[in-house]
Amino acid sequence: MRPKPWPDAPELTARVARAVAARGPYPLAMRVRDELGELFADAEFAEAFGVRGRPGWSPGQLVL
C-alpha cells in the first residue's frame, strides 16, 4: 500500500453538490466528509499491507 492523502473534490463539483443538497436533506456522505474529513489516514494502516504487488485500496475510504 502506498499511503496518500484523500483527494479533494473539484470546486465545481462541490458547489453543485451543495446547491443540490440545499433543496433537500443534506446527504450523509457529504456531512461525514465535511465534518470529519480524513478520519482514517492511510498511514495508520500501512503496516498491515505488503510492499510488493498491486497497491491496496485505501482502508480509510473503504471503512466510510
Nearest to 64 by CA among 45, 43, 26, 37: 37
User: Which residues have CB under 8 Å from 57's CB, separation 6+?
Assistant: none
Q: What's the confidence (pLDDT) of residue 11?
A: 92
* Packing angle of the helix pair 11-21, 28-36 (nearest 10 deg): 130
pLDDT over 80 at 61, yes or no: no
pLDDT tens profile 18-60:
888 888 887 887 888 788 877 788 888 888 887 788 877 787 7
Question: Which residues are CB-neighbours of 8 under 8 A, at least 6 positions away?
Answer: none
